[in-house]
Amino acid sequence: MISQLEQSANTHATWADRQLLTWKVIQREIPFDFVAICFDNPGKKEPVLSSFLRIGFNEYQSIGMNELSTITGTGKNDLTRMIHQPDKKTITGYFNEDMFEEIALKRSLHALLQEKFEMQSLLSLTFTTNSGEPCSLYFYSRRADTYNADHVAMLFRLQKTFASILEPSVVEKTNGTAKPPTAVNEIISANASGFENIIGNSHLLLNVFDQVKQVAPFDTSVLILGESGTGKERIADCIHNLSPRKGKALIKVNCAALPATLVESELFGHEKGSFTGAIDKRVGKFEQAHGGTIFLDEVGEMSVDLQVKLLRVLQEKEIEPVGGRSPVKIDVRVITATNRNLEKEVAEGRFRLDLYYRLNVFPISMPSLSERIDDIPVLVQHFINIYNRKSGKKITGVADKLLNKLMAYSWPGNIRELENLVERSVLLAKGTTIEDISLPTTLGNNSQRKVPEAASKTIHENERDYIINVLKKCNGKIWGLGGAASILNVPPSTLKSKMKKLGILKVNNE
């Protein structure tokens, strides 16, 4: 990794491009959603700050001092003061969950990024560049438990490399003053091939992308977990397409749809005459996938007897066709998926523990749509475009009021349910804008139900009403003195997370 970082420093590209190359390399080992580099020389009137917000897979937005001041609503003098007077506790180390909440209580750069970008953990390193310039390097993540001591040790090992790469002299200069990129909308992209069919940029989805990129080049067994309709099959496609096996077959099997009497024949094949009706030899799914990948969807639906045979295939790397006289060697990568809790299935005796360990080598958990509501607008537009082409219509989008309604809905059917509803709405739309979508009211979506006045409210409904009342009193202000978080005595990130879960989007006194 050090040699790769040094190559980025020696390139003749711009400052922003050099930084992109650096952070691309670092991202593989140290996950982050926001990175900031502060050159803080107290003798200078204004510090140099360069930062990058991750907005997609290998996609970053560059943000300088002026832009950060505008985005956060903080005066430039206040922002300068924060950089000149950093919290001594955060000079070097990692800060997760409560520790990060503690340092974010003070008016600081960390608090600003927590409020604006929902950062929940920090990894920091303070060092001196080769020219003697003091520098602070901050990695932020939206996950509360991202960093550990190994990450700190890695930063210490890279300290000399950073001291060379992050020399202020390599920053583009104007009139002798070092300045980072100033265009807030400047998007620096890299090739994200392999994920073309996955829509969204939420941090949970980006975490999945990172995991796919890590495991795809190897033959490691992958178990994809998640609710129905979250896109598990699409992720299996990505893993195969990013692997050395992409030129070979990807065979997909829905284990829940296999006939119980023919499941063994379907998977492992059979010889002619091996049973009544076997008039020809059949090549099974595993043999069809030889040299490539087999995707076993809904693997939790397999019978215990078939689980035993699948375990043998994984252990011995060979199959025995029904009626065959000798086993057949196979070279197959196995990817499985399920919407069941396999640990619970193992505990209750419905799934073999040894098979679970074989499949669960590299688990990937798909987030539900309700956990990535920020992706709903782009998903809606994506599906509108698809069904515009199919129906010949020219729908441009959905009404703002409807979009708020969609983002407050619980989506028990996840992306599949959203796609079906958008398809129907495109067909029914009279104009160029979708004004309404009939959301189901019988699938546990409490936020869309009308509760009779005489009925008792649930705990969540009471909590939602209470938060809304507090927000109204604060004119919708969440962070800072007089904000709702302060009144409720909870961290701003916790309040914003709870607001999302309860479907509270924006509240004021109107």
Concatenating the DSSP letter of every residue in 235-266 gives: HHHHHHHTSTTTTS-EEEEEGGGS-TTTHHHH
Tens of pLDDT, residue by residue over 155-178, are 999 888 888 777 655 444 433 334
Report pLDDT for 179.
42
Tens of pLDDT, residue by residue over 93-114, are 999 988 888 888 777 888 889 8
Report pLDDT for 241.
94
Report pLDDT for 161.
83
**Which pair of structure tokens corresponds to residue 270?**
């059979």
Phi-psi bin for 456: left (phi > 0), alpha (psi -120 to 50), beta?
A: beta
Report pLDDT for 178.
40
* Averaged pLDDT, groups of 10, the chain, 510 residues long: 64 67 86 88 64 87 88 85 70 88 82 88 88 86 91 91 69 40 39 73 90 94 95 95 95 88 82 69 89 96 91 92 84 96 93 95 94 92 94 92 90 94 93 89 47 52 82 78 77 76 63
pTM: 0.74
Name which of 141, 126, 127 is nearest 53 in CA terms. Answer: 141
Report pLDDT for 470.
84
How do the domains of the chain map onto residue ranges?
A: 2-189, 203-365, 369-448, 459-501
Kindly state which CATH superfamily the domain 2-189 is placed in: Transcription factor LuxR-like, autoinducer-binding domain (3.30.450.80)
Report pLDDT for 315.
93
The whole-angstrom separation of Cα 102 and Cα 465 is 28
CATH number of the domain located at residue range(s) 369-448 in this protein: 1.10.8.60
Kindly state which CATH superfamily the domain 203-365 is placed in: P-loop containing nucleotide triphosphate hydrolases (3.40.50.300)
The whole-angstrom separation of Cα 488 and Cα 507 is 16
